[in-house]
Amino acid sequence: MITQSSQHILVTGGAGYIGSILVPQLLRIGHTVTVLDNFSFAPSGLLDCCHDEKLRIVRGDVRDERLVKELVGKADAVIPLACLVGAPLCAQRPVEARTINYDAVKMIIDLTSKDQKLLFPTTNSGYGIGDETAYCTEDTPLKPISLYGRLKADIETVLLDSGRAITFRLATAFGISPRMRLDLLVNDFTYRAVVDRFIVLFEAHFKRNYIHVRDIAKAFAHGLDRFESMKGEAYNVGLSDANLSKRELCEEIKKQVPEFHIVESEIGQDPDKRNYIVSNDKIEATGFQPDVSLQKGIAELIRGYQVIRRNQYANV
């Protein structure tokens, strides 16, 4: 367990896919947590935490300046998770995406003081279409190819310019969460293996990096514990042994679901053109190491898919 002095942490969007894993962890290691969420997705994500007297839950909108100002004023640290996540959802709701993913975070930056900490999840999807032979580092220019990626990249610049923020460029997340998502690549492909037993891949050579949702929570706790030495910087957060193509990912799943049939289409294109490999050396140099391998995460998902079905969990 990570030991650190108790802090009061405001987590916006704390009932989401990451938040419903992160908030219980913050409580377990002794922090007081206030969650601001509108509970538009899977509202039961935090029910298991409601016994903890260190938790306060506020139902509201992260764009409500009066409410946010009140909550920010009581916090030692703010983790703005509230977001329309993913390119498809942002493309469907562009005005909402901008007001939540950029404007609301900018408001939080403006409302916080120099003594308050900001820890923010951005995305390594900002690297866009990379070179399959060259690792993207934190110094690699961002070339986002979606509104979602552009908004994340733009607000990251503002956060880092403040000098009192850490940003985590998260790899593609995977794993079981109380607020489950099936639209993430590993989660989706594993579901298809378990339920459909086959998949048709478009542009199967496209590569991506991956990270378990519990290790994302671990990265935030790590950043809180080492804030002074890490602040003002962006950090890639992913599994260094999991820079895999879609075909390679499917082969890993097939090791645990032998009946999984993989077909590569010779025609058609994947609308998601992201293709890159990522170095996580910078955060590893601070002492961070993920706990959950891709293989363990796939095994977890296989067990979880005996319980859940697709129509229950998605962003779009």
Cα 27 to its chain centre, rounded Å, is 19
pLDDT at 193: 97
**CA-to-CA distance for 40 and 24, rounded, in angstroms?**
20
Domains of the chain: 8-174+210-238+279-290 (3.40.50.720)
Structure tokens at 83: 């977001």
- From residue 150, alpha-carbon distances to 71, 72, 220 in Å are 28, 26, 22
Per-residue pLDDT in tens (0 to 9) along the chain, 316 residues: 444 578 999 999 999 999 999 999 999 999 999 999 999 876 778 999 999 999 999 999 999 999 999 999 999 999 999 999 988 899 999 999 999 999 999 999 999 999 999 999 998 888 877 666 789 999 999 988 889 999 999 999 999 999 999 999 999 999 999 999 999 999 999 999 999 999 999 889 999 999 999 999 999 999 999 999 999 999 999 999 999 999 999 999 999 999 999 999 877 666 666 788 999 999 999 999 999 999 999 999 999 999 987 655 544 4
pLDDT at 154: 96
pLDDT at 310: 67
Cα 78 to its chain centre, rounded Å, is 16
- Residues 232, 165 contacting (CB under 8 angstroms): yes
pLDDT at 87: 87
Nearest to 190 by CA among 215, 216, 212: 212
pLDDT at 5: 75
